[in-house]
Chain A
Amino acid sequence: MLTAIKRRARFALLRIAVLQLSGLLAAALGACSGNGKGLDANGQPLNGSGGGGNVPLAADFDSIQANVFTPICSVCHSGAAAPEGLMLDAQHSYSLLVNVPSTEVPSLLRVDPGNPDNSYIIQKLEGHAAVGAQMPFGEPPLPASTIAFIAQWITDGAPPGQSGGAAEALAVAAVAPLDAAQLERPPAQMALTFTRALDATHLDPNSARLERLTRSISAADGTETQSVTVMPIELHIPAGNERTLLLTPRGVLPEGDYQIVLSRDAADELASRDGARLAPTTTSGANDIVARFSVRMQP
């Protein structure tokens, strides 16, 4: 009796195996690739929200942004929880890529202009980076030809696109981490992107500060006071990406609330290459607070 049941079960599994194999063979004979009707170049409906590019893929930043970074990478690499703090939406990608050290392998730049083989982005896309999975994560790898376009753009010196042209006033265009972000681990670096190229000779250790805010309640009268601790950081304007100011903590940031502050003191205020001064941002007076974020470790 038991033997008969076993035999029947085995036969049933064999039938499933044969059915699957023959079903796939039938599918192979009948199924073919899509005709692309009503879709953009990324396979998304032309009137949908998931698409990105009708711009032909070429070795220039705007085309790569429209065809690769926006529709594919920024699906994950965007917002406050962007992996490795790398936001690849159109507003942030250039300033967080070009001449910016990778957080996974800090000895390598994410994009090293003129040197695609040593650019971390190429290693991640080709799947031989020293750390982590091949990108795009969980998706088929980018075609070799697409990676070749990105490599060619890097070989050409990784110039910014037309959309990154000069603006009239010097102002903060983007901040990473985002304002009001709640981070689950301390950022390895922070980045401010400006509307115009910065004058590196005007960069002073006090041009930008990272402040940690600590609140305490007085036991005597219950009043709340807030103290500010200036955290040790290094400031750096990457060569070839002068619209970006990198703030790198000298140690691991502890849990807490932070704010990034730009000095408005004439002695150490940032300026553009042609001498333009910073336009006022969120606050007035001697300093501008450009972003606040908090670090709360997950248990």
Chain B
Amino acid sequence: MRRSALRGLLLLSAAAAAGTLLPQLASAEPYLAIQQGLKCIMCHVNPTGGGARTLFGDVFAENVMAATTLPAGFPAWTGQVVPDFVRIGGDLRADWTRSTMPHSPITDQVGLEQMRLYADVSVIPNKLGLYLDELVAPGAAQTMEAYARYGDTSNWYIKAGQFYLPFGWRLQDQTAFVRQVTGINMTAADDGIELGLERPNWSGQLDVTKGVANVSSPSGYQVTGQLVRIQPLWRIGAAAAYTHATAGDRQTYGLFAGLHTGPVVWLSEADLVRQAGFSNGTRSMVPLLGEIDWLLHRGHNLKLTYEFYDPELNVHNNQQTRWSAVYELTPIPFLQLRAGFRRYQGIPQNDAENRTLAFLEMHGFF
């Protein structure tokens, strides 16, 4: 009841603002935080990153990210509907994907991938806030995040409600092995509480939640913890999660690091997932990620990724890899165009593990 009232209030605010403001578009990724030597909370309302941007995040997108800035006299976008109290934002992604798989016809998919609206209400500045992330398209509207936040996010805070869990790099690509296999990503939010600690060089979270695996079950829980050391040129983090679920308990461990060398940002993540409940017992799975982001020129980024996935450590010859090359062009503030190629490689008897994808994406935020 309280959540629906909150949702209604926030949506009303977002709709009212959307009706009076010209929508603008943009994007964000963890490599940007490492490139700038900043914490996630500098650009995002959420201390663990993603979603609505802060005033700094909007100013950064408007003046630093893009190849060109907006014309003089163009009204600056600050995300503030009611200064210091209500912020709104949004994301829109549309793409074309060509999928090529051995022994199958080539398929093309074009469409709107997602459109999201965000609203953040600062009920008591630096003390009590309400946040909403609503997926409005495609399909029926769905609340992705809806939580209350108490405390000063530059010191410590408590979050309660529905939110994404912190674990490893919060990548834009939710199909990365490390995000898919851990099951902790931005496609499935969880219900519970989060205790966060923010220090100049540290960021930590401890979450007690229902566990996404327990959505349809009255029992079960998940405990997730993450600690990140942040320095201007590098950062390193460790994360762990334990899920108790009727479908089988799951233990997840992750280590991730990032380094900034001149125009290049290096990212890596290594995870171990132990999932019980398979017909042949517990499986140990290892997904790895290596990513290089090369800032060729302002507004031009070349992203190269290598991913490895062992779906069952005690079975040999079953590993999968994925290589990606993505060119990201941000021609004007709040609009990013991406062109990419992904090559999956797996066992030869499974065609699906040996497919290639070519894609074009338009991504924007406001």
Contact = CB atoms under 8 A, between A and B. Distances in A.
B255 A140 contact: no
Nearest to B344: A143
A24 interface: yes
A184 B107 contact: no
Interface string B228-271: 01010011100000000011101000011111000000101010
B319 A31 contact: yes
Given A141-B175, A143-B355, A21 B266 contact: yes
A146 interface: yes
Contact of B317 (A24, A39, A297): A39
Interface in A13-58: 13-14, 16-18, 20-21, 24-25, 27-28, 31-45, 48-50, 57
Q: Is the interface of A mostly helix, strand, loop or mixed?
A: loop
Given A25-B290, A50-B278, A130-B139, A36 B349 contact: yes
B246 A20 contact: no
Contact of B346 (A33, A45, A134): A33
Contacts of A42: 350
Contacts of A128: 114, 138-139
B247 to A, nearest CB: 5
B350 A41 contact: yes
Contacts of B234: 14, 17-18
A298 interface: yes
A145 B104 contact: yes
Interface stretch (B83-91, B210-218, B293-301): B210-218
Interface in A121-175: 123, 127-134, 137-146, 148
Contact of B353 (A13, A33, A148): A33
B73 interface: no
B351 A145 contact: yes
B126 interface: no
B348 interface: yes
Interface in B189-203: none
Contacts of A297: 218
B219 A298 contact: yes
Nearest to B318: A43
Q: Which of B258, B270, B349 has the most CB of A within 10 A?
A: B349
B349 A39 contact: yes
B316 A34 contact: yes
Interface stretch (B151-159, B180-188, B331-339): B180-188
Contacts of B69: none
Given A21-B259, A143-B101, A123 B318 contact: no
B109 interface: yes
A17 B319 contact: no
B72 interface: no
Nearest to A54: B349
Interface stretch (A75-83, A247-255, A256-264, A283-291): A75-83
Contacts of B217: 81, 83, 184-185
B288 interface: yes
A8 interface: no
A84 interface: yes
A144 B97 contact: yes
Interface residues of B, number: 75
Interface stretch (B6-14, B17-25, B46-54, B305-313): B305-313
B280 interface: yes
B284 interface: no
Nearest to A85: B216
B235 A17 contact: yes
A41 B317 CA distance: 12
B63 interface: no
B319 A34 contact: yes
Nearest to B319: A34
B125 interface: no
Contact of B268 (A24, A50, A76, A81): A24
A104 B250 CA distance: 24
Nearest to B243: A138
Contact of A140 (B97, B139, B177, B306): B177
B345 interface: yes
Contacts of B317: 34-39
B323 to A, nearest CB: 9
B36 interface: no
B346 A146 contact: no
B251 to A, nearest CB: 12
A31 B247 CA distance: 32
Given A43-B311, A43-B315, A75-B279, A134 B290 contact: no
The 3 closest A-B pairs by CB, nearest first: A36-B347, A143-B352, A138-B183
Interface of B: 97, 99, 101, 104, 107, 109, 114, 138-140, 142, 175, 177, 180-183, 187-188, 212-213, 215-219, 229, 231, 234-236, 246-248, 250, 255-259, 266, 268, 270, 273, 275, 277-280, 288-290, 306, 308-309, 311-312, 315-321, 344-353, 355
8 contacts: A13-B236, A31-B308, A33-B320, A35-B347, A43-B353, A49-B279, A130-B139, A141-B175
Interface of A: 10, 13-14, 16-18, 20-21, 24-25, 27-28, 31-45, 48-50, 57, 75-76, 81, 83-84, 104-105, 123, 127-134, 137-146, 148, 184-185, 297-298
Given A16-B236, A138-B183, 13 more contacts: A21-B259, A21-B290, A39-B315, A44-B315, A45-B315, A49-B280, A57-B352, A76-B247, A130-B139, A133-B183, A144-B97, A145-B101, A185-B217
